[in-house]
Amino acid sequence: MLELDVLFEPFVDEAYDALDNADKMAFQKLLACEDPDLFAWFMGHKECEDAELNRIVQIILNRVKAS
């Protein structure tokens, strides 16, 4: 999904390396999720119930908001 690429590509290029190992693993787990779920979480239509995944979603969203 293009909308997800717009979020993920800059994050990987600019912020991924600064994550600790647990957050890097959570990001990898996030990438395995279905696009419709990812879209719903990032657009605020639904909250991710997995705390680990929700944390990385929030890290990415906060980075986007700060830009």
Give pTM, 2 decimals: 0.91
- Please indicate whether residue 26 or residue 65 has the higher confidence score (pLDDT): 26
C-alpha dihedral (55, 58, 60, 63), degrees to nearest 10: -130
What the block records as the tokens of 67 is 């830009």
* pLDDT digits 0-9 by tens, 6-49: 999 999 999 999 999 999 999 999 999 999 999 999 999 999 99
- Please check whether residue 3 is in contact with residue 36, taking contact to mean a CB–CB distance below 8 angstroms: no
Whole-number pLDDT of residue 11: 95
Residue 66 has pLDDT above 80, yes or no: no
Q: If you search the block for the tokens 């600019």, which residue do you land on?
A: 14
- Please check whether residue 42 is in contact with residue 60, taking contact to mean a CB–CB distance below 8 angstroms: yes
Whole-number pLDDT of residue 1: 80
Residue 67 has pLDDT above 80, yes or no: no
